[in-house]
């Protein structure tokens, strides 16, 4: 029987977005089911700052503090900075394997570990936004014990030499959130946290174009619901809020259960991201039976291939044309085909990877 006081894995959770929190909780659950003793060390959200570079610094410092605190509480060693002196608080236990969730969480790590990431700063922090993160990230990824990208496409963007030899793709699992509504009475939903990156301005323009060209109201609802951002966030992104505009309703941030309940009632999920690092919101929409209408985007956008496989008419640069096809000429059996396309991202697939490949690599004798 395993020592109940022996911590096998310490997962340092940045948790700066709902998607990251979901991914971390899923991985912890899968590791525990596979027999590992796991602890989640959560970074405290820092106060807002003005630039992306300063935001990443604040989150990296918070992740380092969370890792140090958990290591000291466990009684294991930690180092000052990236390679300073080691300190042990006592207990003599074997130090746990560390997994840093995101490259930002690993930038100021107290000691090396595995790094799980949806994308690298080398790809999604261009120019001044990643001035200090990109070079430090290269060092951290080169020193990491294991690289755990969410997708093969994320690994392809990874700047670390020899990354393939010490990598394992560990996807984020998606599944239906419940039984779909008997009637899909909402025409379309979009998720607009970080509205400029998500392309909300392009979504609104396409929606207005479709509404202006229709001859009569669509059956089964005639409204676009915008979740994940409020009017203030839209204005800060340079996007004029819809206000009392007919056919568009701004919902702001929603609890996950309420948001997924909307997806089960919606016919379409529409988005036009300027970059997409994975596409959890899109995969969730597919899992809940929405038709996914999207433009292509740079980045490891895994949901795009699934959407193309189900109905290629709905994926393309002409977002309004995709919306019209989905709303006016939906293909029968879309939900069933989407479920088959999502099998590589299901909970069973994650459990297999964790049990058969990840745990043996994390817990091999050290």
Burial state string for 165-196 with b = 16 or more CB within 10 A and e = fewer than 16: eebbbbbbbbbbbeebbeebebbbbbbbbebb
Matching residue, tokens 């379309």: 188
Percent of the chain topping pLDDT 90: 81
Assess whether pLDDT exceeds 80 at residue 242.
yes
3-state class of 188 per DSSP? strand
Across the range 128-147, mean pLDDT stands at 94
Contact in structure between 315 and 291 (CB atoms under 8 Å): no
Element (H, E) at 248: strand 248-252
pLDDT digits (tens, 9 = 90+) for 2-43: 454 689 999 999 999 888 999 999 999 999 999 999 999 999
Output the CA–CA distances (angstroms, integers) from residue 205 to 40, 43, 305, in the order listed. Answer: 42, 38, 24
Please list the residue range(s) of the chain that carry CATH number 3.40.50.2000.
Answer: 9-173+346-362, 186-345
Count of CB atoms within 10 A of residue 235's CB? 12
Burial class (CB in 10 A: 0-12, 13-18, 19+), 304: buried
Q: What percent of the chain has pLDDT over 70?
A: 90
Structure tokens at 51: 């630039």
- The radius of gyration of the chain from alpha carbons, rounded to an integer in Å, stands at 22
| Measured torsion, CA atoms of residues 308, 279, 116, 6, in degrees rounded to the nearest 10 | -110
d(CA 7, CA 10): 7
CATH 1.10.357.10 fits domain 186-345: no
Q: Does pLDDT of 79 surpass 70?
A: no
In contact, 327 and 79? CB cutoff 8 Å: no
Among 48, 58, 90, 49, which residue's Cα sits nearest to residue 73?
90
172 secondary structure, DSSP code? P
As its CATH architecture, domain 9-173+346-362 has 3-Layer(aba) Sandwich (3.40)
């Amino acid at each position: 029987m395993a020592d109940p006081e022996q911590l096998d894995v310490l997962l340092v959770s940045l948790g700066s977005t709902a998607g990251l929190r979901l991914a971390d909780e899923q991985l912890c659950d899968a590791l525990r089911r596979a027999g590992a003793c796991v602890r989640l060390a959560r970074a405290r959200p820092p106060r807002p700052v003005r630039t992306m570079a300063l935001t990443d610094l604040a989150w990296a410092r918070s992740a380092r503090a969370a890792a140090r605190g958990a290591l000291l509480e466990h009684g294991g060693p930690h180092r000052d900075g990236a390679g300073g002196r080691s300190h042990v608080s006592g207990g003599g236990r074997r130090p746990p394997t560390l997994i840093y969730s995101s490259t930002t969480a690993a930038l100021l790590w107290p000691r090396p570990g595995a790094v799980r990431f949806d994308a690298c700063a080398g790809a999604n922090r261009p120019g001044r936004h990643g001035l200090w993160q990109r070079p430090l990230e290269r060092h951290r990824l080169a020193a990491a014990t294991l690289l755990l990208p969410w997708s093969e496409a994320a690994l392809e963007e990874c700047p670390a030499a020899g990354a393939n030899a010490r990598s394992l793709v560990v996807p984020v699992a998606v599944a239906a959130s419940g039984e779909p509504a008997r009637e899909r009475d909402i025409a379309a939903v979009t998720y607009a946290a970080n509205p400029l990156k998500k392309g909300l301005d392009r979504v609104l323009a396409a929606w207005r174009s479709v509404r202006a060209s229709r001859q009569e109201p669509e059956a089964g609802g005639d409204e676009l619901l915008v979740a994940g951002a409020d009017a203030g966030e839209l204005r800060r992104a340079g996007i004029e809020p819809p206000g009392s505009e007919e056919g568009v309703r701004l919902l702001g941030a929603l609890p996950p259960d309420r948001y997924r309940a909307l997806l089960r009632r919606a016919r379409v999920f529409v988005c036009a991201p300027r970059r997409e690092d994975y596409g959890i919101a899109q995969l969730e929409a597919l899992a809940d039976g929405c038709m996914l209408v999207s433009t292509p985007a740079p980045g490891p956008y895994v949901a795009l291939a699934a959407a193309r496989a189900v109905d290629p008419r709905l994926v393309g640069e002409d977002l309004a044309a995709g919306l019209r096809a989905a709303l006016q000429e939906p293909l029968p059996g879309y939900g069933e085909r989407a479920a088959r396309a999502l099998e590589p991202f299901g909970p069973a697939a994650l459990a297999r990877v964790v049990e058969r490949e990840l745990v043996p690599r994390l817990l091999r004798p050290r």
